């Protein structure tokens, strides 16, 4: 069996561990400076501005291609959900009305009604 001191895998692990410790120390020192904070803030601002400009450009492009943008599709989806909710409420009310009408009609239907044989009087002068 190979000696732990001369094993290439152990040497490689030790070397990577030392390299990682050195990098962490350097990164912690660099991130602790106000210049680093300022630089990261500027980079974030630039990225946000670029993203906003790209979104506006894409919306103009989609408009010129006569296609809906993401915001328009989201708006349509929200309106459709609202309409579906209203339709569900209407459907529930209609079902409730049908049930109540069935119970009202079924109660008198239990008594037989006499046939309607009487006709309205004919108007004078018409035969």
pLDDT in tens, the chain (127 residues): 456 667 889 999 999 999 999 999 988 888 888 888 898 899 999 999 999 999 899 989 988 999 988 889 999 999 999 999 999 999 999 999 999 887 766 655 567 778 888 888 877 655 5
Question: Which pLDDT belongs to residue 107?
Answer: 57
d(CA 56, CA 62): 10
Question: Which pLDDT belongs to residue 122?
Answer: 79
Question: Which pLDDT belongs to residue 84?
Answer: 97
Question: Which pLDDT belongs to residue 92?
Answer: 96
Could you state, in order of their start, the residue ranges of all structural domains in the chain? 9-67, 68-103
Question: Which pLDDT belongs to residue 124?
Answer: 67
Task: Give Cα separations from 6 to 13, 19, 52, 116 (angstroms).
Answer: 12, 19, 56, 114
Q: In this predicted model, what pLDDT tens digit does every residue of 46-66 receive, in sequence order? A: 999 999 999 899 989 988 999
Question: Which pLDDT belongs to residue 57?
Answer: 92
Express the helix, strand and coil content of the chain in percent, nearest 5 each: 75, 0, 25
Question: Which pLDDT belongs to residue 69?
Answer: 86
pTM of the model: 0.42
């Amino acid at each position: 069996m190979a000696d732990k001191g001369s094993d290439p895998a152990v040497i490689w692990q030790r070397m990577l561990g030392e390299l990682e410790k050195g990098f962490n120390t350097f990164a912690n020192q660099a991130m602790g400076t106000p210049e680093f904070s300022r630089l990261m803030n500027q980079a974030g601002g630039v990225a946000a501005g670029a993203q906003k400009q790209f979104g506006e450009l894409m919306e103009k492009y989609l408009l010129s291609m006569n296609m809906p943008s993401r915001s328009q599709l989201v708006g349509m989806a929200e309106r459709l959900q609202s309409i579906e909710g209203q339709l569900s409420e209407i459907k529930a009310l209609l079902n409730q009305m049908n049930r109540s009408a069935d119970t009202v009609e079924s109660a008198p239907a239990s008594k037989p009604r006499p046939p309607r044989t009487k006709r309205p009087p004919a108007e004078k002068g018409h035969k």
